[in-house]
Chain A
Amino acid sequence: DSGVTQTPKHLITATGQRVTLRCSPRSGDLSVYWYQQSLDQGLQFLIQYYNGEERAKGNILERFSAQQFPDLHSELNLSSLELGDSALYFCASSVFDRATGNTIYFGEGSWLTVV
């Protein structure tokens, strides 16, 4: 158990709909990351938040947005869903160490299937 909690674990929705994925980071971790993994694909970085503020942005579509709340949990919002958005969405968290940098720990992922 990494300590990173994601909900829901599985989600099936129709094209055009909107969903929200939720993540609770490890206790004490200020950074939250979102990654997308399509079938047989690598991990694509979407976005990072640090203590409530956006820190880095990857290949995140305009239809997607995220935020980190004061209690440090994060939500990833996916709207106008398309079939190609079906994927595993991972949340990860880390605490920055000046000596070692960022070592991130992943949740178990949210399976999104768009039909």
Chain B
Amino acid sequence: GQQLNQSPQSMFIQEGEDVSMNCTSSSIFNTWLWYKQDPGEGPVLLIALYKAGELTSNGRLTAQFGITRKDSFLNISASIPSDVGIYFCATGAQKLVFGQGTRLTINP
């Protein structure tokens, strides 16, 4: 089945640092989505990308849809404590497939 490789699996950073994570696939997709999940809650959609090369921002978050349509990255600038959580990339057509997640921990 379709598999997404999301990296890194975890990150430990200082407050104020920038964060970068990415997702790659062996298949071409038309959509890339980035979600954030807080403990015990459902994933919340952060950014949706629908076009190869597209660069989209949502506050301090920026995501890009790779030109090859096989990858995407998410950047968080000037991290703050509430950025802590698990970030998932997702893509797919009929069924959305998720990466394994990047667990972000921030030291104040």
A residues within 8 Å of B by Cβ? Answer: 2, 4, 33, 42-43, 45, 48, 55-56, 58, 88, 90, 92, 99-109, 111
Q: Is the CB of A101 within 8 A of B99?
A: no
Q: Is the CB of A101 within 8 A of B93?
A: yes
Q: Is the CB of A109 within 8 A of B41?
A: yes
**17 other contacts beyond A90-B42, A102-B93, with CB at 8 A cut-off?**
A2-B44, A33-B95, A33-B96, A42-B101, A45-B98, A58-B95, A88-B40, A92-B96, A101-B31, A103-B33, A103-B45, A103-B48, A104-B33, A105-B45, A106-B42, A109-B41, A111-B40
B residues within 8 Å of A by Cβ? Answer: 30-31, 33, 35, 40-45, 48, 50, 88, 92-101
How many Å lie between the Cα of A104 and that of B101 in the bound state?
17
Given A45-B95, A101-B31, A101-B93, residue A106 in contact with residue B50 (CB < 8 A) = no
Q: Is the CB of B95 within 8 A of A56?
A: yes
Nearest to A94 among chain B residues (CB) is B96
Chain B residues touching A, majority SS: loop
Given A90-B43, A103-B45, residue A45 in contact with residue B30 (CB < 8 A) = no
Q: Is the CB of B95 within 8 A of A107?
A: no
- What are 30 pairs between A and B in contact, CB < 8 Å? A2-B42, A2-B44, A4-B42, A42-B98, A42-B101, A43-B43, A43-B98, A45-B96, A55-B94, A56-B94, A58-B95, A88-B40, A90-B42, A92-B42, A100-B31, A100-B48, A100-B50, A101-B30, A102-B31, A102-B93, A102-B94, A103-B33, A103-B45, A103-B48, A104-B33, A104-B45, A104-B96, A106-B44, A107-B42, A109-B41
Q: In the complex, what's the smallest C-beta–C-beta distance from B73 to chain A, in angstroms?
A: 18
